[in-house]
Every structure is written in C-alpha cells, then in structure tokens.
Amino acid sequence: MADVFIDESWLWDEVTDDYLLIVASVTTTRRREMQLAIRRLKRIPHLKAKSEIKATVTTPDVVKKFLQVLAVDPSVTITAAMWRGKRADIDDHEALYRRVMARCVWQAVKQSPRSDLYVDKRYTRREQQNELEGEIREAIAVIPQNIVRVSQVDSRVVKELAAPDFVAWAFLQHYGRNNDEFYRLIRSKVSHFDDLS
C-alpha cells in the first residue's frame, strides 16, 4: 500500500482580491525514508523547537533541500489541484476547498488505488470532517478496486505532512508569485496537475 499525504496552501491579495488555492499530494511507498528526511530537518536549529514543520516558518534554503530530497526519491509522485479567481466570487469557501481537495485525491488514488490517505486536519467539528471525507469518497468511487483509508490528522503528530506542505508552497510560489525556483526542483515528480478555475 502507498501512503498519500495531502495539504494545502493559499494566497489572497487584499488589493486585487485575487485568491489562489493549491492542494498537493505526495505519494510514497517508502514512508520511512520520508520520516528520516524530516528528522534531519528537525536538527536545523531554528526548527528544533517547532512542533510542526511548515515551509512558511523556515528558510528558502531549507525548503530547497527538502524538495531536492523528494525529487530524488524514486517512490515519490506528486499530484496537485488549483483554483484561482476573485475571492468575492467564492460563494462557499469550504465547498471550494472540498472540491479542490477531492480532485487532488482523485488523481493520487488513480495512480495508487490501494492507499492510506493522510489529510492535514483542517476541521475540528465532526460534521465538517464527515463532509470532507464524503466528498473524497464520492470522487474516488469511480476508481476500480480502490481500497483507501482516509485519516484527517494533525501535522504535529504525522510529521510527513511537511512534504505536501512544502510542495503546495512551491506550487504557490510558482503560480501565485511567478517564482519557479522551488517548483522546478519537483516538476519531474508531478504526475497530474488540474486547474479547476
């Protein structure tokens, strides 16, 4: 079974009202290798005290090093889904999040129909967690012979969620800030990318 880790990143420009949402998945069959890479990150002085590792709280050099580790791991594949537009045009932010998340998951599960799926826990209310899982399950229902366990987990507990966080952030830099220095490190690992705008 493969392990699929999923997280999102977003950007909103208050002046132009431009909004960008990226959901990224990192799939691996070598979870232990990813755990070791994250442990090495935790040795970096400014990250030692952090309970979770996020691209926004570290340096560009650290982000690059970790993305390079993902890029050379033969078991890693990346999928992503994006929506961009005006924030004022979004009727329901949570419905948009669920739709983009479900699309990213669908692409990942198409490649690895037998997966343990770990989604960074966004919701504390059980009703919202059920809505997200329901939308994910509906999206993957058309994939034959899928056996997928979905877990919404805290990234402070499942440290491997740092991987999709860094990847989503790299996509955000590329599509939101026209800076591809991070994205180009992982471009060869991206198997599917959907723009749902």
Cα separation of 163 and 55, whole Å?
9
Average pLDDT over residues 17-39: 91
Question: Which phi and psi angles does 102 have, rounded to 5°?
Answer: -60, -35
Cα separation of 163 and 128, whole Å?
24
- What are the chain's domains? 2-195 (3.30.420.10)
Cα separation of 171 and 191, whole Å?
14
pLDDT digits (tens, 9 = 90+) for 68-79: 999 999 999 999
Q: Kindly state the greatest CA–CA separation across the chain.
A: 47
What stretch of H or E contains 48?
helix 45-48
- Report the amino acid identity of residue 101: M
The model's pTM is 0.91
The residue whose two tokens read 């340096």 is 59
More confident residue, 82 or 127: 82
Cα separation of 116 and 17, whole Å?
36
Band (15; pLDDT cuts 50, 70, 90): confident
Cα separation of 170 and 56, whole Å?
11
- Within 10 angstroms of residue 196's Cβ, the number of other Cβ atoms is 15
Phi-psi region of 28 (alpha: psi -120 to 50; beta: other; left: phi over 0): beta
* Residue 182, token pair as written in the block: 């991070």
Contacts of residue 178, defined as CB under 8 A and 6 or more positions apart, other chains included, come to none
Using an 8 Å Cβ cutoff, are 179 and 194 in contact?
no
pLDDT digits (tens, 9 = 90+) for 31-58: 998 888 888 877 776 666 566 778 888 8
